[in-house]
Amino acid sequence: MLIDIHVHTCKERHPKLTRPNGSHYPTPARTIEMMDAHRIDKAAVMTTLSPEWRYTMGTPEETLEICAMYPDRLIPFCNFDPRYLTNSPSANFRPLLGAYKELGCKGVGEYIPNLPFDDPLNLNFFGQVEEAGLPLTFHVGPQAGGCYGCIDELGLPRLETVLRTFPDLVLLAHSQPFWAEISADVTDAQRGGYPRGPVTPGRVVELLRAYPNLYGDLSAGSGLNAISRDPEFGYQFLEEFQDRLCFGTDLANDPQELPIVSYFRTLPAEKLLSPEAFDKITWRNANRVLSLGL
């Protein structure tokens, strides 16, 4: 089985609602076609709401409707912006989180507001997601403005504050500024991209060892780059953290290549990863974290 922890889809939009390069979220039917082509059994569908990323806006209701079309294949995530309701650090998200959990949402994300990780608005929201017992997938932004994602500096000190403050909140980490820190020699200039070359274990490794509530979402070029830039390190990393890594693609464009699929297909074929680690990363961890009961 192959469970994708991170995809995006939406109903058909006006043809001008595309990225600057002309690509766009795949429709639900195209998402299933692409999953079939890559033999992906199930996928968690992100909901994207925050204004920092606005070429396609998706609501939890649309995500639920799409996933209801393919209930055996698609897994809904709800999402909110912490500025919702009263734009206050005392805003009550509990009714919303409870309602969407009852409707079948298995997580929260992709969480992208361009506010510091430890901003009072974020801390208020994170605490209530922790109470709801849902995992949260986040994107890191390297600065305020000009990007999306929760803001953190080199070394991820604000993320560490969140991990320490909410030990029962499962946080699925994603994006270039997170995965670039797999190596200790990353610089401010590199952290928004895809650093190459040998890895000297860095903050990602330290945080995964220190905080059992931190999980790695391996999707997108950032996740694949982190585990493939130094192949021998990558295999060791997958083995060490086999209980807290999840396969993913970040399918978000039509068309889109998904090179991480072939990377993972190669691992058992060439005996580069133990069968136990392979099964955990490709589906068992997602099954457990998302409470799928498979």
Per-residue pLDDT tens for 16-39? 887 777 788 999 999 999 999 999
CA 214 – CA 88 distance, rounded (Å): 26
Question: Which alpha helices (DSSP H) does 75-215 contain, by range?
Answer: 94-102, 120-132, 157-165, 176-179, 203-210
pTM for this structure? Answer: 0.97
Beta carbons of 122 and 133 less than 8 angstroms apart: no
Mean pLDDT of the chain: 96
pLDDT digits (tens, 9 = 90+) for 41-56: 999 999 988 888 767 7
Structural domains of the chain, ranges and CATH numbers in brackets: 3-289 (3.20.20.140)
- List of residues 6+ apart from 131 with CB closer than 8 A: 94, 97
Amino acid at 71: P
3-state secondary structure of 246: strand
b/e code 41-52 from CB counts within 10 Å (16+ = b): ebbbbbbbbbeb
CA 265 – CA 285 distance, rounded (Å): 17
| DSSP class of 26 | P
- pLDDT score recorded for residue 54: 65
Percent of the residues in the chain that have a pLDDT greater than 70, as a whole number: 100
